[in-house]
Amino acid sequence: MPGPFVVPVHGDIELPKEVDCVVIGGGIVGASTALELAESGLRVALCEKGGIGQEQSSRNWGWVRISRRDPREVPLMAEALRIWTRLSERTGRDTGYARAGIVFTCANDKEYEQHASWGRHLEGYQLESRMIGARELRDLLPGSNLDVKGALYTPADGRAEPQKAAPAIAEAARERGAAILTECAVRGVETTNGAVSGVVTERGFIACKAVVLAGGAWSNLFCGALDLDLPQLKVMNTVLRTTPVEDGPEQAVWANNFAVRKRQDGGYTIASSMTNVVDIVPNSFRYARDFLPAWKMEWRSLNFHLGPRFLEEARVPTRWAMDEASPFEYCRVLDPKPSKKSSERILANARKAFPVLDKAEIAQRWAGYIDITPDAVPVISAVDAVPGFHVATGFSGHGFGIGPAAGRLMADIVTGRPPIVDPTDFRWSRFSDGSKVAPISGF
């Protein structure tokens, strides 16, 4: 089923012979990395096997939030909020960003205490976030029927349009000199004396000294072909958008059985983390031990499914010659089928909480894959085993909002300049250096 319409970005015809850095992946992280590098004066080529922003970056909820982030992501997300405020001006294009606030409701005293304790992680950031009771919540969301204890309300949070953001950033990168190459899969990385010396694309060779892999759910497969082991799996989420409706909530709202976000077109994007589907695939067994702590913590929101996807992924080659088509050319866009049953249930829950949504109809459903790591924290790092190779992936469902700052941090690492935040928590080596790798409870 087709995903949401994404603002088209037409790829460059000419393949550059040599650049300073090749960025693999045209989602929001890859596009942001390309923009930052180009603004730093580097020669950049952004290679995307399909179209810009066609997968995770256009299929997410459109939340730009620092609230309820893993504490390890908070410093980087604080920078992202700063970047988002002027991103439309910087790119010269509409990203749909609005600082409208986000509400995380609390069903009971335990959740209220958990949300309240999270607030300490914002100390020193001068970002407004506070707990509100049921009465203040009703005043904030007039017409709502939320039966909850209260909520964490963060006015500093916002929203943006996923179908516009990555294309806007990619076009801005091109205006700064980056080559934007769509329908141009990278088959592999060439090395000289162990270090990056170029990439082989389906359209030819590009010489370079640095590569950034921002391949989202494809990153594990690409790394494996380089004999690099990246523990990464995928989770599928179903999303719907409605027709426009007046007098709905301005703030994005999360509850235990639905989440809503107002769209620029007047409709709402509605989804739920409780409908996440985990397809059982060969990598599920390979990384079972790595992900066990996460499964124990998140089992209530996960629906494990054994179906055709197991054999489909089992048949995908893990090695291929540089002169033959790669798996990235056989599947240009991951486009899973959304769950009609789940979307109707989520909409019913949202309508119960916000009766104004009774006037709205489902305009479209889609689904998307989320790339996840065992600790639900991304990798934004150089890979020491292959000098010049860098990875920015594993954003675990929080990548859209943090994407512009992740691109800045990745560019800092590539160029060797002082990083915008301490990148230690995002290092590649944490999966092999004996560190405890697990999500932090409550987030």
Q: Residues 305-316: pLDDT tens digits?
A: 999 999 999 999
Q: Which two tokens stand for residue 355?
A: 């009766």
- Mean per-residue pLDDT, 418-427: 98
pLDDT at 2 over 80: no
**Mean per-residue pLDDT for 394-413?**
98
Q: Give me the amino acid identity at 120.
A: R
Instruction: Check pLDDT > 60 for residue 443.
Output: no
User: How remote is the C-alpha of 335 from its chain's centroid?
Assistant: 16
Q: Shortest CA distance to 52 belongs to which of 154, 152, 164?
A: 164
* Mean pLDDT of all residues in 322-340: 97
Q: Would you say 205 and 190 are in contact if contact means Cβ atoms under 8 Å apart?
A: yes
Euclidean distance between CA atoms 233 and 383, whole angstroms:
19
Query: What does the pLDDT look like over 62-116, one tens digit per residue?
Result: 999 999 999 999 999 999 999 999 999 999 999 999 999 999 999 999 999 999 9
Average pLDDT over residues 267-281: 95
CATH 3.40.80.10 assigned to domain 21-431? The reply is no
Side-by-side strand order, sheet with 186-192: 186-192, 195-201, 204-207
Per the CB < 8 A criterion, the answer to whether 213 and 388 are in contact is no
Q: Across residues 157-166, what is the average pLDDT?
A: 99
pLDDT of residue 1: 58
Mean pLDDT computed over 193-207? 98
Q: How confident is the model at residue 299 (pLDDT cuts 50, 70, 90)?
A: confident
From residue 121, alpha-carbon distances to 27, 52, 71, 380, 406 in Å are 28, 34, 6, 21, 19
**Tell me: the pLDDT tens digits for 244-254?**
999 999 999 99
Report percent pLDDT > 70 for the chain.
Answer: 99
